[in-house]
Each structure stands twice: as C-alpha cells, then as structure tokens.
Chain A
Amino acid sequence: MSAINQTATDIGPQTARSHQGNITIQDLSIVFGSGRSSFVAIENISLDITSGEFICIIGPSGCGKSTVLNAIAGFTHPATGQVLVDGQPVQKPGGDRGMVFQQPSLFPWKTVLSNVAHGPLMAGRSKQAALAIARDFLQIVGLANFENNYPMTLSGGMQQRVAIARALANYPRVLLMDEPFGALDAQTRFMMQENLLRLWEEFRITVIFVTHDIDEALLLGDRVIVMSAGPGQVIEDIRVDFERPRDADLLMDTRFLILKKKCFSLIKKESLLAFEQQKKSSIQKAGKHN
C-alpha cells in the first residue's frame, strides 16, 4: 500500500507538466536521399496539437506516418518547415519526448527495473530516486512483481508495457507511439488499448499514436489525422468526440461505424492512388531500361 501512496507523492508534482506538450508542426516537408534518387516522404504538413490531446495518425502504408513521429522525436530533419514542442524547435532526440516502438526495444542485458530506471538515471537522478520512480511506474503498468525479470522472460505484451513504463518514467512532454501494438495478438492488443486509455486518463499527457488500424485510432483518439500517400499529406483531421471513458462497446456504436466508414473510404481511395502511382513509376522505370 505504501507504494501506492508513494506513487501519488512522487508523480503528483510532476503532473504540473500537464500544461506542457503543445506541439506545432508548420509546413513540414521531409526528403530522404539527395539528387535523382531523392524521395519526398511528407510534404507541407501543418498540425496543432494541444497539451493532453490524444492524436492518432492513420493512412495507407508508406504514407509517412512514422516519418512525422520521427521528426517530432528528432531522428529526421525537416527539408522545410519546423516542429515546435512547447515553442522550442526540435533539434535532436531527447528525454522530453518519450517513444514506444513497434518492437519493445528493451535493453536485454538489464532487468525490467533497470530498464525503466534508465531514463531517470540519464536525467541525473540518484540511483535510489531512479529506482523508486521505476518501481512506481512498474506498479502502474501492473508489472511490479516482475521487476527482477529479464525482458526475454516476458511475453510480447508485457514487454511492451515495460516499454511504456520506461517512456513514462522520464515524465515526457509527449508520448510518441509508433504502431506499438501492431505485433501483438488481437486479445493482447485489446487489453493494451484499454490499459493505455486508463494510463492516459490518469496522466493526461499528449499522445501521438501511429497505427494502420482504424478501429484502434477511433477507439483511442481525440482526433484522427488521415494521411495520403506519396508524398504524405494531411487529407482529413477528424474530431472524435465519443464520451470517455471508452470501452469495447463503442466498436458497435452507430456513430463509431459512420466515422469508421468515412476513414475506410478515405484510406481506400488513397491506397488505390498510391498503388496506381507505384505501378506508373515502375512502368516508367521499365521503359527506361528498354
């Protein structure tokens, strides 16, 4: 029980960050490669994300969903435009923007506890404080009993919960999630979605969640951003105002199905367009070879 009280005291003051995590993306374009082999991944994307919003990004594969996340994380640099996090332009990756990847990407040589304590340690906290924070977050994701396990002894879903705890332990301004549940089986994915919603309702941290699953996007998000392919652009910014807390029943709701149909037809159109483009460019290439 003391652990729970401690959770409240340790995490309480930090939620003062709740007014942080405003993200502004202005005319962002990202180009990979250079010269003739260059490739425009995303073009002129502008988005305003308010502190505490849950944003889902969907779109056909190859539309640059992940590139947007990588630009916010600081892994890729804009060709034009900029990304501002609380007014500051993003220069390079940092602990203030937590990220959860499709693969859990835990450090296999560290215990679950040390994995979660890594961020606080890097932020300069004492070992004792870092471990205390790590224990709190493991408790929150329901893995307190596994702190001494090594990652490879856990299931995929449990590993991903550790990865979420590890990202949150840094008290980031924003949590970036790149198809985090894409590799999990349907039951586990469903449980993870519900857990994530509960966590988010507790912390009210800004979340940007990339997925190719329309159900997932509509179940989780306050807004669903639909992107087009080649080059990636925002074609629709859908407000999803179903009341919270949400659960699985929502999937059968008529309003849900209407939005789902809308998203589906947008993505279908874009996927077909992208397919045509790929076909055309491969025919052009073949023509050049002849």
Chain B
Amino acid sequence: MRRRVRDAACVFRIHLARLRAEAGPFLLAALVFPVAMFWFASRVSGVRAGDPKSLGFLAGAVVFSISLTAISWLGYLLLENRFTGRLKLFATLPLAPSSYVFGILIFAVAQAAAGTATLLVVARAVGVRARLDAAGASLLGATVTLTMLCLCGVSVVIAARARSFAEGTLYTDALGAGLVILAPVFYPADALPRAVGAAAAWLPTSCAARAAETTLAGGHAVAPQLLALALMSAAALALGFRLMRWRED
C-alpha cells in the first residue's frame, strides 16, 4: 500500500513538472476561458455583480473550468502518454496500473482546486461575493473533487478507447465544452426542449452546477447532487480502469 502511494506520488510529480513548460494550456482551460464565459454570460443577460444570478454564472464558470481541465486538458495528456509511447515507460516498470491512474487523479484534483480557488478570487475582485462558510467550503470542495473524478473517468475511457490521437482529441474537445453547453449552466433549464432537458439534468456537469450554485449561495442542501456525482464517478472510473490497457492482447 505504501509503495502504491509513493508510486502515485511520483506519477503526480512527473505530471506536475510538465506544468512548468505547459502552464499556458492549463491556464487557458482552468481560468481564461471560464472567466471569459462568466463575463460573456453576465453581459449578455445584463446581470450585475451583486445580483444573485451572478453566483449561478460563477458556479457555471467553476464547472466549465473543471470540465475543460479534466476532459480537454487532462484527456489530451492521457492521449499523449498513450500515443507517444510515454505510457510504455510506466507499463514496463513494476508499477500497478492503479498507481498510475491515482497519480493522474491527484494531479487532476490539484488542478481543479487551484482553478476553482483562483476563479473565486477573480470573482471576488469583480464584486461577486460567494457566501461560503466552513461547511459550505467543504461541500464545494467535495463537489469539485467528485466532478473532477467523474470527468477524469470519462477522460480515461476516451484515452483507452481512442483509435488514434486525432480521434481522441476530437472527443475530448467536443465533450470538454459540450458537457457544459448541454447542461443548463449559463441558461435556464426550461429553455431546453423537454426531452433534452430531462437528459441534461442527469449530466455530471448539471449536478455539479446545481451543487456549486447552492454552496456558493450559502446553502448546504447538496446531498442528492453529491450522491449522484459519487455514483457517476465510481461508474466512470471503474469503466476507465477496466478499459485501460496496461498490457496489450
């Protein structure tokens, strides 16, 4: 167990070191695009900083940040590891596949935490104040973590199943933005056609946005969303583990 934790920490450090040279894409995914989306949504809807609706847009920006970071950016890294042969460096070591995946997940959660915290600071700077107490902050942390884990599971599945790098990046790019666009994050749920709205309500991004908005507004009643996110995370990660090919057949 101790060895696995140490191995996962090494995998985390290897990927963290990448950020030194590749911080640009991470900042774009975690900060620049979500802030731009927040600003765009606020301007289009005429919502001012003090308006409670602005917290909804902030929740949307947090979810957008997680989605882009987990699927577009991290999915890209996983695809790169697989298709440039980097995965071989790990696969030829006496390393448990779970250590590799957990190392990646720690990296992902660290990115999500950094991205969310920065977004809250930026929001505060422009006058959007979240009403977070200690319990609310914990619930927001749980929401962010579970959302990240769930979307990372989706990334692992894509990275494992893609037949080529190009195909994989197409899926990660489409899903990274698509999961946020399909979820009623920046627009009211009733704006969607009924069937689409019913399906969208079950997207992890929808659950995450509802939970994030509630906690940012000072509420704590997010248990159903967290439970749904936990189940979806377990399912996505289990599928990802199952599909990931450590050894080829």
Whether chains A and B associate is no
Seen from chain B, the residues whose Cβ lies within 8 Å of a Cβ on chain A are none
Residues of A within 8 A of B (CB): none
